[in-house]
Amino acid sequence: MVGTDKTRTTPPQAVVPSAAPSVTDHEAHGQAASGTVISSGQSVKEGIMLEPMTHLDGSEQGDGAFKKDLGWIGMLAAGYNMTNCWLVVAATMTVSLPYGPMTTVWGVIIISPIYLCIGLTLAELIAAYPTTGGQYHWASILAPPRIRKAVSYLTGFTSWFSWMTLAASSAGAISLCSNALIFNANPDYQPKAWQEFLFYEGTLIITLCLNLFGKKILSPFYSAAFFLSLAAFIVFTVTTLAMQKQRQDSATIWTSYTEVSGWSPGVQIIIALASPIIAFCPLDGAVHLVEEVNDASKVVPRTVLAALAIAFVTLLTFVLAMLYCVTDFDAVLATPSGFPLFEIWSQATRTTAVPIVFTVVCIILLPVGTTVTCQVASMMTWSLAKDGGLPFPEHLAKVHAKLNAPVWSLLLNFIIMFLIGCLYLFSTLAYNSIIGVASILQQLTFFVPTVLLIYHRRSDNILPPTRSFQLPSWLGWICNIVTVLFTFITTSFMLLPATANPGVNSMNYACVVLAGVFLLAFINWLVFARRRYNGPTSIKFHH
């Protein structure tokens, strides 16, 4: 919500109920009790639960603008579909597989507990502060008053742009599966940039229509895709293992390492972690959908952790099953479509019918992830505009009453992602550089509120003891520290090129894209947000 400069000197506050008349559970759930104000330096009393966060001008962040269309299963399905790790990692296996099968397997084993720590950190924060803005709202609450506005705004802009790149990346994945089918029918096929562009834009148009006109069916749509994905995982795994009689030996899968980059083994393995990181990094998506679900402070932490657990089990099982069924790794890496699963299924089943059917199922599943990712991106646009962080808040922060959707936010996002896709027509390197920074931007947004938690020493003033989800203190510290340390690793090594001596076309331009993102944020700050941005700085509690 747009505010004025006069309101920004007040310290963070918590509103707790006074010893006034009690209210019924129904009344307490629907509204905050009147109460007294205490400073953030005082402890939060027990017996209180969270209400929507408020701005210093008194307006609430969660104002009931959206109908609660998602239930527990719908929210779990949405969170799962955003990652769909078993499919994403398998589809991007060409990122890690050149370094040897062990980098793919151990990458999953290494990254999964790290993202569990990140998920546990986010779960505690969302249980304490259920808000659409997520990381940047938490930064606004937790940061010292002197730097609160700047830190919160930069985190918000980073998170907003990261979800734009995640949605663009998801839309681009459709062409990989489609190309696999085309190459199977015509081995001489040479994909053109404009054809890839049409696949990309077609996916975006479909997801835009679903988010604009199909809001009522999104929850069952996500749920159906969730169960289809789990069924596909089981069928794909069992069928591939059953039809492949010639298995790779365990030594190859678990210990085979290939030196191809010129980097030291340690650096090479870290670079190879990009594939599972890409799959896990949208895990905060459910956080930004709190406006879509009742009792968000309880439901969302559970869905984040449940989606992570399902993702880990399905991902590790699927990756191991597929790798054990590969008979020719060179052929998998050389697949012209860029979709290695088709080649793996062809080798395992020795037919074309099974890979075709499996690939069609993947083509059905992938747009669902794009749809929910675009929905989250629109919620980020809506939230940041509502807080005065983006121009034209009178439009971007508006929710269409009948469509139950932030129409202008969806349209703006579509235009931005359309322009990102246009880069593919002129330079695939520029396109890949932009969507390649998504995981780095995401990790930076996880870093900011986590390091502020550590700054406050995980005080009860910051994490109220009555929140619906809380970790033992020692475990919370471990999760927070792992999250911070992992950020330093990703922002250091993920900026390196894939080879130690890159050429112009193999250089990693992520640092250039990051500089561009922060330059855009700075320009927007000078022109618009510096005078208007007003993130939440207080929170209401009730019995």
Contacts of 192 (CB under 8 A, 6+ apart): none
| CATH superfamily assigned to domain 33-542 | Amino acid/polyamine transporter I (1.20.1740.10)
Other beta carbons within 10 Å of 259 = 11
What is the spatial distance between Cα 493 and Cα 490, in angstroms, rounded to a whole number?
Answer: 6
Number of H helices, E strands in the chain: 24, 4
Question: What digits encode the pLDDT tens for the residues 289-321?
Answer: 999 888 889 999 999 999 999 999 999 999 999
Two tokens at 206?
């479909």
**DSSP 8-state assignment for residue 506:** T
Q: How are the residues of the chain apportioned to helix, strand and coil, as percentages rounded to the nearest 5?
A: 65, 5, 30
The full DSSP string for 121-163 is HHHHHHHH---TTTHHHHHHHHS-HHHHHHHHHHHHHHHHHHH
Contact by Cβ (8 Å): 91, 173: yes
Query: What's the confidence (pLDDT) of residue 200?
Result: 93
- List 14's β-bridge partners, or say none: 38, 539
The one-letter amino acid code at 518 reads: F
Amino acid identity of residue 161, one-letter, is F
Amino acid at 103: T
Name the residue with tokens 């990712």: 373
The alpha-helical segments, DSSP class H, found in 469-509 are 473-493
Question: Alpha-carbon distance 139 to 209, whole Å?
Answer: 33
Which residues have C-beta within 8 Å of that of residue 239, sequence separation ≥ 6?
349, 354
Return the half-sphere exposure (C-beta side, CA atoms, 13 A cut-off) of residue 386: 24
* Distance, CA of 197 to CA of 44 (rounded, Å): 53
Report how far residue 413's alpha carbon sits from residue 206's, in angstroms, rounded to the nearest whole number.
14
pLDDT at 222: 94
Predicted confidence (pLDDT) per residue in 150-175, tens digit? 999 999 999 999 999 999 999 988 88
Q: Nearest 5°: phi and psi at 259?
A: -90, 105
Pairing of strands 538-542, 49-54: antiparallel
pLDDT tens-digit readout, 2-24: 343 333 333 333 333 232 333 33
Who's near 157: CB < 8 A, 6+ residues apart? 384, 389, 517, 520, 521, 524
CA distance 483 to 498: 24
Contact 419, 257 (CB under 8 A): no
CA gap 370, 175 in Å, rounded: 13
Query: What does the H/E/C string look like for 164-208?
Result: HHHHHHHHHCHHHHHHHHHHHHCCCCCCCHHHHHHHHHHHHHHHH
Amino acid (one-letter) located at 63 = D
Residues 6+ apart with CB under 8 A from 73: 223, 226
pLDDT on residue 539: 53
Beta bridge partners of 539: 14, 53
Question: pLDDT of the chain along its 543 residues, tens only?
Answer: 334 333 333 333 333 323 233 333 333 333 322 222 223 333 333 333 344 444 433 344 444 478 787 888 999 999 999 988 888 887 788 888 888 899 999 999 999 999 999 999 999 999 999 999 999 999 999 999 999 999 999 999 999 999 999 999 999 888 888 989 999 889 888 888 898 999 999 999 999 999 999 988 999 999 999 999 999 999 999 999 999 988 899 999 998 888 887 888 888 888 888 889 989 999 999 999 999 888 889 999 999 999 999 999 999 999 999 999 999 999 998 888 888 999 999 999 999 999 999 999 999 999 999 999 999 999 999 999 999 999 999 999 999 989 999 999 999 999 999 999 998 888 888 888 888 899 999 999 999 999 999 999 999 888 888 888 999 999 999 999 999 999 998 888 888 888 888 887 778 888 999 999 999 999 999 999 999 998 886 554 433
pLDDT at 191: 86
CA distance 276 to 109: 9
Domain boundaries, the chain: 33-542
Residue type, 380: M
Q: Phi and psi of 46, rounded to 5°?
A: -75, 165
Contact 420, 431 (CB under 8 A): yes
Per-residue model confidence (pLDDT) at position 197: 92
Of the candidates 226, 225, 218, the residue with the CA atom closest to the CA atom of residue 310: 226
- Please answer whether residues 81 and 406 qualify as being in contact, where contact means their C-beta atoms are separated by less than 8 angstroms: no
What is the amino acid identity at position 132?
T
C-alpha 200/C-alpha 197 separation (Å) is 5
* Strand ordering across the sheet containing 13-17: 35-39, 13-17, 538-542, 49-54
* Residue 319 · residue 90 · CB < 8 Å: yes
Contact 349, 355 (CB under 8 A): yes
Rounded CA separation 152/312 (Å): 31
| Secondary structure E strands in 12-147 | 13-17, 35-39, 49-54
Residues sharing a CB contact under 8 Å with residue 268, sequence separation 6 or more, in sequence order:
99, 103, 259, 260, 261
For the chain, how far is it from start to end, CA to CA, in angstroms?
A: 27
Spatial contact of 301 and 127, defined as CB atoms under 8 Å apart: yes
